[in-house]
Structure 1
């Protein structure tokens, strides 16, 4: 069902807009429209332009909420004043900024010491004071590393032929870290030789004292001291958050509300009367909320509300807000997937809930598996609020019912008697056709009833939208309904051996509707008293009409046969379960229960998914395509949006 909407224009002194929004509109669900667009006929309107003063504090609060969300509870029932909320955010932000800056400085110091540590550690094998090495005047030194391959070549063929002293400090699978010394006068020549061996030079800072090992220990001590300070700052940050976490959440909620309220100005307009400036807000409310809101502001001298009942004076179309019983609410998912109904359109939620569940149960009739779907879907929907699980639970009810009608429990068809028939065994004798599975006949008959029902719904929708052609002359209008109803009745009478109607009646019921559908465009023009011009001439009109009429007849036939799949899946389910029981050895009297359970799970999962998709296809292509447009726009309430932020 679609809730009735009322269009409201709310006005008052410009300075009073925050109070009105916070007091009323944040509690009532209102779909706001742009007042400038809605009130084009009103003179001297201008946009309400102001800078949001709460944006900066809101961003700070959001950043703190995101950074420290693990320390914060889910919400707060406390209400604080706006001034208190702003001061809380500002003071806490200052405190956290100071601590964060202090932590960043300590982290930078630790990173610098760690970098020095990484440089000196590879030379820990050098048992000599680094500072003294750095002070050499006539002897030059180089710290660095060389690959193991070149080091071996250098040691074997070069080292003994040049004036250098090499000290190996550390080695791994790829590199060897070394320090070499050369006389000052030969440094260029020796450096060139080492460079040819792919020597990678490293530069050690001059703040080291003692040997590299001693320097490394000293750096480790300094890093540990910094890590202790960093840990202390982290604890101070946690303490600062914990001491004011409730205040932060309450302040964030308050500022968020006021920031959202302030943004209402984007949709408001201003007008001036004498020396006073007034705001104007326009939007849609449900009829019940509109009455409650108007009653609440009766004693508010600064707030005025006008309800516009004539939709011809309103620029925007009413938004759609669906309201269905809890049992059918999960099926709104399928409606939203196809498209929301427009305001004057029939909400198909209840229809799809009943037909989808019924067809699913018919195609997947098993009392045991149906109970599993019912219970599992209900629990998942109850605790996780997954709408698809609610749909599965409803389908499970009908699967259980049809399982009892078919006498099938987890694939066993000898545990209980069939209350109606066995899908794979029941046959019906039909004239001209012969023997045919009964569930196929029932499925086609069921499809005819559903198609007729959808035609009636299309007529109702078309009357609401004042579409003359679709009401009377469309394939799903009155003409199509008369033709298809007569065809269905004729088929039923023929198959049941009853006497057929007279020739005159058949001509009226068959031929006249076809002629009406053939000449639907000229007839529509006559009814609406418009001049209809035939494009392309009479010949083109007749040719196009014949092809369209053939397509209509073909679609009636194919759409009806489409429901054969309902019976086919009912039969295939029984056949699949017979295969499972055969593999489990049930015929021998002692079935392998692991195979039975595994087979039931496999069939329940795979066939349940396939049946669900096939039924949804039937809903969209055979039902919705006949009467449903799905061109509505969602009702987006301001109040709900404010609560979610």
Structure 2
């Protein structure tokens, strides 16, 4: 059902806007509109130009609440005053930043130690005290690395002639790390030779204590110490946040409310009159909420509310809010996918819920598989609130009913007797046609009934919109309904062996509606007393009208036959389950239950998906297209925005 909306104006002293927003608007659903845009006839309107005083504190509160584990499960501390919230957020931020600075220093210390480790690590095999080496006076030294291929050349060709000792450290795939020692007098010659061997020097400083391996282990201890310090700081932060959690959550929620309330100024306007400063807010509210709101503020002398009666004339189309029973609520998803109804349209949710579930059940009739969809979809909808799961559950209920009507349970058709018929083998004899599967006939008859009902809904919607052409002369209007219903009546009479009306009666029943459809444009102009001048010649008008009528007749025929798919899927479902049982060896008396279970799951999943899509196609193309435009826009209340923002 579509909730009836009213457009209201709310005004009062400018400095009272926060109280009104916090006290009233946060409790009721109202879609605020820009007062500057909507109230064009009011003079002296100005926008609010104020900075949100809660934004910075809210940003910090959001940050801290985001650090908490499961903040939704923390009970807020409701004892904090607003000033206490600001102080709490400020002190929490100072404490947090102080601890973060300590962590950052420890991270920097770890980075520096790891960098030193990276330098000293390749020299760990060297058994020498680094500080003593750095203080040698009569021996020159060079730490560095040699490419492996040049190291081998040095050993092979220069080892005997080189007046230097090369002490090897670690190796990798590319280099041999180490140091060479030489007398100061031979140092220039040795340096020249090692440069020719692409030796790269690595500088060691007196920061390293003891041997390279000792220095490496000392650096590891420093890193471990800093990591433990970081863990302690993390625990300190966690304890701090846990302790302050209830207060931080309370502050975040309240600051969120106040920030959103303050942001109402974006939609408000200011008006100065007789040295008094007023605010003006306007928007759409449900009719029931308007009554409650006006009743609540009747004793509040600072709030003035005006309910606009001619809403459509001045403020455009009202937004659409759907309100349906819980059983049909999930099917609103399909309506929203097509488009929300306009305020003067009928809400098709209940129609979709009943027809979709019924058709799905007829195409997927099986007691066992229907119960699986019913229970599985119901549980998923109960715990996760997924609309599609609710739709599957309703469809499963009707599948179970049709399963009893068809006598099928998990594909077995010899366990229970059908309350109606078995789709795969029940035939009916029709005049001029012969034997035809009964479910095909029933599916087409059902389709005819649905199309007629959709035409009636179209007429109601068109009448609500005061659309003369759509009401009387459209192919889905009164003329189209009379024509199509006449055809259906004649077919039913003929197929059941009853007498059909005389030829002249048929000519009237079929001819007059078609003529009305053909001349719908000039007839509408005549009724609405508009100019009857035709844009094209009469001959062109008749030719174009003839082809449109021909297309209309084809569409009636194709739309009706489209419902044959209901019977086709009912038969194919039974046939697929016969194949599953055959593969499982049921006919041989020794069934493979694994094949039966997997086959049922496969058919339930694959065919259930296909049937769901096909039923949705019937809903959209064969039903919705006849009576529903879906041109409405969603109702987006201020309180809903506040709630969604507070969850972020």
TM-score where L is the length of structure 1? 0.96
Q: Is the 8 A contact 2:461 2:627 kept in 1?
A: yes
Check 1:581–1:164 CA distance in 2 against 1; reply closer, same or farther (3 A cut): same
SS for the counterpart of 2:590 is coil
SS in 2 for 1:219: helix
- Deviation, structure 1 residue 62: 1.2
Moved more, 287-296 or 169-178: 169-178
1:332 is the counterpart of 2:335: no
Aligned to 2:642: 642
For 1:613, the equivalent position in structure 2 comes to: 613
Taking the TM superposition and a 5 Å limit, the aligned residue runs for 1:97-116 are 97-116=97-116
| SS, match of residue 197 in structure 2 | helix
Pairwise CA distance, 1:129: 2.0
Give the CA deviation at 1:138.
7.5
Q: 1:491-570, aligned counterparts within 5 Å?
A: 491-570=491-570
Deviation at 1:99, TM superposition (A): 0.6
CA contact (8 A) 2:427 2:436 kept: yes
Aligned: 1:603 with 2:606 = no
Partner residue of 1:368?
A: 368
2:54 touches 2:258 (CA, 8 Å); kept in 1? yes
Aligned ranges for residues 1-400 of structure 1 at < 5 Å? Answer: 1-66=1-66, 68-70=67-69, 72-79=71-78, 80-135=80-135, 141-157=141-157, 160=160, 162-181=162-181, 183-186=186-189, 189-195=192-198, 199=199, 201-400=201-400
Structure 1 residue 225 displacement after superposition? 2.2
Asked if 1 retains the 8 angstrom alpha-carbon contact of 2:344 and 2:464, the reply is yes
Contact in 2 for aligned 1:381/1:387 (Cα 8 Å): yes
Whether contact under 8 Å (1:124, 1:169) holds in the other structure is yes
- Alpha-carbon distance, 1:142 to partner: 4.0
Aligned to 1:435: 435
1:594–1:71: structure 2 CA closer, same or farther, 3 Å change rule?
Answer: closer
Unmatched tracts of structure 2, length 5 or more? none
CA-CA distance at 1:81 after TM superposition: 2.4
Change (3 A) 1:211 1:310: same
Alpha carbons of structure 1 residues 318 and 76: separation in structure 2 relative to 1, 3 Å: farther
CA–CA distance in 1 between the matches of 2:292 and 2:604?
49
Structure 1 residues 150 and 290 mapped into 2: Cα distance closer, same or farther (>3 Å)?
Answer: farther
2:8 is paired with a residue of what secondary structure?
strand
- In structure 2, what is the equivalent of residue 490 of structure 1? 490
| Rounded Cα–Cα distance in structure 1 between residues aligned with 2:538 and 2:87 | 80
Deviates more, 1:319-328 or 1:141-150: 141-150
Q: CA deviation at 1:157?
A: 4.1
Which region of structure 1 is more displaced relative to structure 2, 436-445 or 575-584? 575-584
Distance 1:305 1:131, change over 3 A: same
Larger mean CA deviation between 308-317 and 210-219 belongs to 308-317
- TM-score, normalized by length of structure 2? 0.95
Residue 75 of structure 1: how far off its partner (Å) = 4.4
Worse overlay, 439-448 or 148-157: 148-157
- The answer for unaligned runs of 5 or more in structure 1 is none
For residue 78 of structure 1, report the CA deviation from its aligned partner: 3.6
Confirm or deny: 8 A CA contact 1:138 1:184 kept in the other structure: no
Kept in 2, the 8 Å contact 1:38–1:316? The answer is no
1:301-332 CA distances to partner (integer Å, 9 max, x unpaired)?
A: 11111111222443232111100011100111
The alignment yields a C-alpha RMSD, in angstroms, of 1.9
Q: 1:505 to 1:146 in 2, by over 3 A?
A: farther
Distance 1:208 1:294, change over 3 A: same
For 1:330 and 1:358, the matched residues in 2 are separated by 15
Cα displacement (A) at 1:161: 5.3
Q: 1:519 to 1:193 in 2, by over 3 A?
A: same
Offset, 1:560: 0.7
CA–CA distance in 2 between the matches of 1:77 and 1:295?
31
- Is the 2:150–2:197 contact (alpha carbons within 8 Å) kept by the matching residues of 1? no
SS at match of 1:390: helix
Structure 1 residue 221, shift from structure 2 partner: 2.2
Whether the 8 Å contact between 2:144 and 2:179 is mirrored in structure 1 is yes
Q: How does 1:624-639 map to 2 (within 5 A)?
A: 624-639=624-639
Change (3 A) 1:114 1:538: same
Range 312-321 or range 45-54, more displaced? 312-321
Deviates more, 1:175-184 or 1:426-435: 175-184
